[in-house]
Structure 1
Amino acid sequence: MSEVNYFLMKAGLDFFIAFGVVLGGSMLAGIGSVFLLMPPTSMMVNTAANLKIWAIVAAVGGSIDPMRVIESNIMEGHLSPAAQQVGYIIAAFLGAHMGTELVRLICKGTS
């Protein structure tokens, strides 16, 4: 498998993991809010916004390891691995952001 294929596969997985964390977490928060007699749409929108950063962290595999890869490779002058890590973080951010926007769309923007 070539490096480009591996990068695209890993970036795609990071995208969908972050998307799933936001969407699944906010949907379960909506279900829980029904049991607790709270408004589910506002709970879902708030939960999606709060989960966004944690979805990115979960997708890239922790908060410290990608930063260490970026720092160590830049210090050694190797920009390609650092750029790959930034690409993974961007893909995870896009997945988390799309999940948040989908929840807002489903809930019609009520927050």
Structure 2
Amino acid sequence: MNYYLAKAGLDFFIAFGVVIGGAVLAGIGSVFMLLPPASMMVSTASNLKIWAIVAAVGGSIDPIRVIESNIVDGHLSPVAIQIAYIGTAFLGAHAGTELVKLICKGTV
């Protein structure tokens, strides 16, 4: 059980970090390109959300394959675990997006 919680925690923070890091670097790049950094950060955070989830859960089709093969075999426990990992990664990506929106709130 401890392994599953640790992996879920890592998935959360990986997705959170992808969104925050991508948004911050987009903001820095927009300064060099003479674009408004706050609006660029918010739009980049929103666009990165799905990719942060994909990166956190493994970056490939493997989690979907695990869900499909275990449903066909009738094993629902691994399916629930994979869905929980995806949900946790979504929460991390969403938290990162909301933090970027909160930071840039007054300037967009």
Match for residue 73 of structure 2 among 76, 85, 94: 76
So what's the TM-score if we normalise by structure 1?
0.94
Question: Which runs of no fewer than 5 residues in structure 1 stay unpaired?
Answer: none
CA RMSD of aligned residues (A): 1.0
Q: Answer yes or no: is 1:13 the counterpart of 2:36.
A: no
Question: Which runs of no fewer than 5 residues in structure 2 stay unpaired?
Answer: none
Corresponding pairs, count: 108
So what's the TM-score if we normalise by structure 2?
0.97
Distance in 2, Cα, partners of 1:63 & 1:100: 22
Q: Which residue of 2 aligns with 1:53?
A: 50
Mapping of residues 1-111 of structure 1, within 5 Å: 4-108=1-105, 110-111=107-108
Q: Kindly provide the CA deviation profile for residues 5-58 of structure 1, in whole angstroms up to 9, marking residues without a partner as x.
A: 111000000000000000000000000000000000000000000000000000
CA separation of 1:6 and 1:38: change in aligned 2, threshold 3 A = same
CA separation of 1:92 and 1:78: change in aligned 2, threshold 3 A = same
Q: Kindly provide the CA deviation profile for residues 55-105 of structure 1, in whole angstroms up to 9, marking residues without a partner as x.
A: 000000024100000000011010000100000000000000000000000
What is the aligned-residue identity percentage? 79
